[in-house]
Chains A and B, each alone.
Chain A
Amino acid sequence: QVQLVESGGGVVQPGRSLRLSCAASGFIFSNYGIHWVRQAPGKGLEWVASIWHDGSNKNYADSVRGRFIISRDNSKKTVYMKMNSLRIEDAGIYYCARGHEVGNSLDYWGQGTLVTVSS
Chain B
Amino acid sequence: QSVLTQPPSASGTPGQRVTVSCSGSSSNIADNTVNWYQHLPGTAPKLLIHSDNQRPSGVPARFSGSKSGTSASLAISGLQSEDEADYYCASWDDSLDGYVFGTGTKVTVL
By a beta-carbon cutoff of 8 Å, the part of chain A in contact with chain B is 35, 37, 39, 44-47, 50, 59-62, 95, 97, 100, 102-112
Q: Which residue of A lies closest to B96 (CB)?
A: A62
Are A103 and B51 neighbours in the complex by a CB distance under 8 Å?
A: yes
Question: How far does the alpha carbon of A110 sit from the alpha carbon of B44 in the complex, in Å?
Answer: 6
Q: Total number of A-B contacts with CB less than 8 angstroms?
A: 76
Q: Chain A residues near B50: list those with CB within 8 A.
A: 100, 102-103, 105, 107
The dominant DSSP class at the B interface is strand
Count the B residues whose beta carbon is within 8 Å of the partner chain — how many? 31
Q: Chain B residues near A105: list those with CB within 8 A.
A: 33, 35, 47, 50-51
CB of B54 within 8 Å of the partner chain: yes
Are B98 and A104 neighbours in the complex by a CB distance under 8 Å?
A: no
Are A107 and B56 neighbours in the complex by a CB distance under 8 Å?
A: yes
Question: How far does the alpha carbon of A95 sit from the alpha carbon of B44 in the complex, in Å?
Answer: 8
Contact with A45, one of B47, B54, B96, B104 (Cβ below 8 angstroms): B104
Contact with A102, one of B41, B44, B51 (Cβ below 8 angstroms): B51
36-67 of chain B: CB within 8 A of chain A: 37, 39, 41, 43-47, 50-52, 54, 56
CB of B109 within 8 Å of the partner chain: no
Are B52 and A103 neighbours in the complex by a CB distance under 8 Å?
A: yes
The minimal Cβ–Cβ distance linking A55 to chain B, given in whole angstroms, is 17
Q: Which residue of A lies closest to B51 (CB)?
A: A103
Are A44 and B54 neighbours in the complex by a CB distance under 8 Å?
A: no
Contact with B35, one of A44, A106, A111 (Cβ below 8 angstroms): A106
